[in-house]
């Protein structure tokens, strides 16, 4: 595989909205070329007969049943938590009385 050119690195940086110095362009040309070479090696691995892996950790979703519960707090108790003034059983926000 050929090495990435400085122009290609600058183009990638532009797409990512990054500003790179000349030293960074040289550094990333080497690093990105190495990464792409590794990915190219991975494409050559024989995966015939290998089942696709759905999840690496083995963790599964534990779903719970949705159960309707009666609320614990009254509307007055909830309104009482507001640091804003309560007018006509509603919280008055700064933008509401502008």
DSSP symbol at 73: S
Mean pLDDT over 92-98 rounds to 72
List phi, psi (to 5°) of 90. Answer: -135, 150
Give the pLDDT confidence score for residue 96 in this predicted structure.
59
Per-residue pLDDT tens digits for 14-25: 999 999 999 999
Q: pLDDT band for 97, please (50, 70, 90 cuts).
A: low
Instruction: Using a pLDDT cut of 90, give the percent of the chain over it.
Output: 61
DSSP secondary structure string, 15-47? HTT----HHHHHHHHHHHHHHHHHHHHHHTS--
Q: How many CA atoms lie within 13 A of 61 on its CB side?
A: 4
In Å, what is the CA distance from 66 to each residue of 63, 69, 72?
9, 9, 17
Per-residue pLDDT tens digits for 40-64: 999 999 999 988 887 778 788 888 8
Give the predicted TM-score (pTM) of the model: 0.49
Give the whole-angstrom CA distance, residue 37 versus residue 24: 19
Instruction: Please check whether the domain covering 6-43 is classified as CATH 1.10.20.60.
Output: yes
Give the pLDDT confidence score for residue 58 in this predicted structure.
78
């Amino acid at each position: 595989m050929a090495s990435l050119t400085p122009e290609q690195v600058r183009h990638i940086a532009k797409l990512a909205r990054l500003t790179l110095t000349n030293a960074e362009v040289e550094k990333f040309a080497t690093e990105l070329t190495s990464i792409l070479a590794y990915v190219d090696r991975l494409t050559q691995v024989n995966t015939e007969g290998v089942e696709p892996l759905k999840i690496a950790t083995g963790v599964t979703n534990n779903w719970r049943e949705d159960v309707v519960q009666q609320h614990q707090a009254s509307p007055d108790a909830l309104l009482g938590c507001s640091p804003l003034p309560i007018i006509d059983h509603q919280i008055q926000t700064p933008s509401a009385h502008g």
